Amino acid sequence: MSTIFSWIFASQPNDAHLPAYRRLYLGIRAAILDGRLKPGEKLPATRDLARQLRLSRNTIVNAFDLLMSEGYLEGRIGAGSFVAASLPDQLFQADNRNSPAKSPIQSAVQSPGPSAKPPSPDQNSPACRPRRISKSAQRSLAFTRFHQSFPVAQPFNPAMPDLSAFPFDIWARLLRRAWRAPHPAIATPQDSMGLADLRTEIAGWLRQSRGVNCHADQVMIVSGAQQALDLVGRALIDPGDVVALEDPGYEGIRGVLAANGAVIQPIPVDAEGLQVNALTTSYDAPPRMVVTTPSRNYPMGTTLSLARRLALLQWAHDNDGWIIEDDYDSEYRYDGPPLSSLQGLDRENRVIYIGTFSRVLFPGIRLGYLVLPHDLVPVFRGLRGFADGVPGPTAQAALAAFFADGHFGSHVRRMRLLYGERRNHLLALIRTHASDLLDIVVNDGGLHICTRLINGQRDVQYQSALLDKQIDCRFLSTYFHDNEMAENKTTRQGLIMGFAGWEKSQLDKSFADLIQILRRNT
């Protein structure tokens, strides 16, 4: 048994962009699917396997957690971890037990869709050969989201605003207005920066509400934060460049930048936000770029202190580095006025500012923006021409009118009050009914509350039971990069609970179900 695990880990590509736990997960999963590890077979204890493979125990545990959550392993109290008796991918492997092992990514590429015809029984036919996908795609897919989502958002989804509170009647009227009296730009090829009217409105709003130093000609309209980061990666990152990310942090950022060839450097986050001093001590060469959420770390909610903001700007000056400021959820701060942006403190044009309307309005709007230093505008404008152009001009025109007519500011003010009430309600539920189970990580804004599990259990072990109850909270441990700088494992276990999209009665019911699950499985 010890020999096979050494071979399993060694057989996986030693890709610097792929976390060790993910390499181990891929190897064990492949060994299960091709029959080298049999159903019901016991796996070594995590401590023994960590010693054998010369990895941290956290790395082994993270790999096992992921395999358990997907149904490949099962844990038995007091006995250890075993290969599951019934495997999720048996349907695709039933006739292939003697064929060469395929990587999970190759299997996913080959797996037929619901209406696809079965593959040819000739295993040497082109249809049955593993598809070759790029290393860029493999790096990106290594950061595929851990959690499972519902077709329709369910309570505690942390990314969902209240759709019933959005004035869709006004939005529909503005869309009709855009078509009845169309701006010439709606029906003709557009400036790759986006509709000028919308860029003007966004620049004015950012100057007023976030203290961003910008003019309309620095604003580029994109389909969201992910596309913004992809453009940043293509413009400023060469393969092998080190990019520093907050740890914990939003995993979608890792995937986008890894696809552009970045080597991800996780930087710990504490009560004052990103530990800026770690930028100069973690790697031999300084990072090319830092991506940060200074207003509110995702998912912890901590704010980057003023001292560290100034230190980060000094780091960029000293190292010719870039700072990417992702200012998600900045509109919603409940304890005091919104904080000014990091970009507003920048005097050397080292900060690129990113924002999106997916949370403040509704996810389907698919509109966001970049604020660029003047000298980068021609670069991004040119690169954008090789991508998808700009988002739909009708939606851009409607959003420009939504701003100009005062609806945007009114909506933000209404939602700040509504979401503040729901946040306080959920905080009261936790303090009243679950203070022995959940420790609140205090933050002053956003659309979710971050908690830590007090019971010492692994957060992902609750996934199946929560899905059965249509509860869509997320797991704190999955937002950490696999590295030795992270905090010890017990402090990484927790639940991320969104409150914005649901009435108090819905929060009450789902919270009662959640607490029942936590107590039953403790």
Q: Counting runs of H as helices and runs of E as strands, what totals does the chain give?
A: 18, 14
Provide CB contacts within 8 A for 472, sequence distance 6+. Answer: 149, 150, 153, 154, 155, 156, 157, 466, 498
Residues 406 and 427 in one domain: no
What is the H or E stretch that residue 89 is in? Answer: none
CA nearest neighbour of 319 among 294, 341, 350: 350
CA distance linking residue 54 with residue 222, whole number of Å: 44
Residues 401 and 434 in one domain: no
Residues 323 and 248 in one domain: yes
Pairing state between β 80-83 and 219-222: unpaired
For residue 311, how many C-alpha atoms fall within 13 Å in the half-sphere facing its CB? 15
Report the alpha-carbon angle 378-382-383, nearest 5. Answer: 120
Phi and psi torsions of 101, nearest 5° = -65, 140
Query: Is 142 inside any structural domain?
Result: no
pLDDT of residue 234: 94
Residues 29 and 49 in one domain: yes
Alpha helices in 286-404 (DSSP H): 306-319, 377-384, 393-404
Residues 428 and 398 in one domain: no
pLDDT of residue 99: 43
pLDDT of residue 88: 57
Domain boundary among 410, 431, 460: 410
Query: Is 323 inside any structural domain?
Result: yes
CA distance linking residue 446 with residue 41, whole number of Å: 45
Query: Is 252 inside any structural domain?
Result: yes
Residues 301 and 427 in one domain: no
CB 155 within 8 A of CB 502: yes
Q: Which residue type does 144 have?
A: T
The token pair that represents 74 in the structure block: 């099962």
Tokens 């520093």 -> residue: 244
Residues 344 and 321 in one domain: yes
Domain of 47: which CATH number? 1.10.10.10
CA distance linking residue 520 with residue 246, whole number of Å: 34
Q: Which domain holds residue 73?
A: 20-88
Domain boundary among 72, 88, 104: 88
pLDDT in tens, 388-434: 777 888 999 999 999 999 999 999 999 999 999 999 999 999 999 99
Residues 186 and 335 in one domain: yes
pLDDT in tens, 270-308: 999 999 999 987 666 789 999 999 999 999 999 999 999
Report the alpha-carbon angle 410-411-415, nearest 5. Answer: 120
Long-range contacts of 3-10 (CB under 8 A, 24+ apart): 4/31, 4/36, 4/37, 5/44, 5/49, 5/52, 5/53, 6/52, 6/53, 8/36, 9/53, 9/55
Residues 269 and 387 in one domain: yes
CA distance linking residue 218 with residue 79, whole number of Å: 60
Tokens 């980060």 -> residue: 312
Q: Which residue type does 139 have?
A: R
CA distance linking residue 415 with residue 419, whole number of Å: 6
Domain of 299: which CATH number? 3.40.640.10
Provide CB contacts within 8 A for 142, sequence distance 6+. Answer: 15, 17, 18, 19, 22, 255, 258
Query: Is 284 inside any structural domain?
Result: yes
Domain of 467: which CATH number? 3.90.1150.10
CB 497 within 8 A of CB 448: yes
CA distance linking residue 15 with residue 228, whole number of Å: 26
Pairing state between β 438-441 and 448-453: antiparallel
Residues 175 and 319 in one domain: yes
CA distance linking residue 500 with residue 502, whole number of Å: 6
Residues 272 and 194 in one domain: yes
Residues 244 and 367 in one domain: yes
CB 27 within 8 A of CB 9: yes
CA distance linking residue 485 with residue 505, whole number of Å: 41
Query: Is 135 inside any structural domain?
Result: no
pLDDT of residue 455: 85
CA distance linking residue 441 with residue 385, whole number of Å: 43
Burial of 260 (0-12, 13-18, 19+ CB in 10 A): buried
* pLDDT tens track, the chain, 522 positions: 555 677 676 666 565 556 788 888 888 988 888 888 889 999 998 888 888 888 888 788 888 888 887 788 888 877 889 998 876 544 344 444 444 444 443 443 344 444 444 444 455 555 555 667 777 677 666 665 555 556 667 899 999 999 999 999 999 999 999 888 766 666 665 788 999 999 999 999 999 999 999 999 999 999 999 999 999 999 999 999 999 999 999 888 888 898 888 988 999 999 999 999 999 876 667 899 999 999 999 999 999 999 999 999 999 999 999 999 999 988 898 887 767 899 999 999 999 999 999 999 999 999 999 999 999 999 999 998 887 777 888 999 999 999 999 999 999 999 999 999 999 999 999 999 999 999 999 778 999 999 999 988 899 989 889 988 999 999 999 899 863 333 447 788 999 999 999 999 999 999 999 999 999 876
What pTM, to 2 d.p., does this model score? Answer: 0.75
Domain boundary among 387, 410, 433: 410
Q: Which residue type does 5 have?
A: F
pLDDT of residue 390: 77
Cα-Cα-Cα-Cα torsion 502, 504, 505, 509, nearest 10 degrees, comes to 80
Chain centroid to Cα 295, Å, comes to 16
What is the H or E stretch that residue 440 is in? Answer: strand 438-441
CA nearest neighbour of 8 among 49, 45, 56, 65: 49
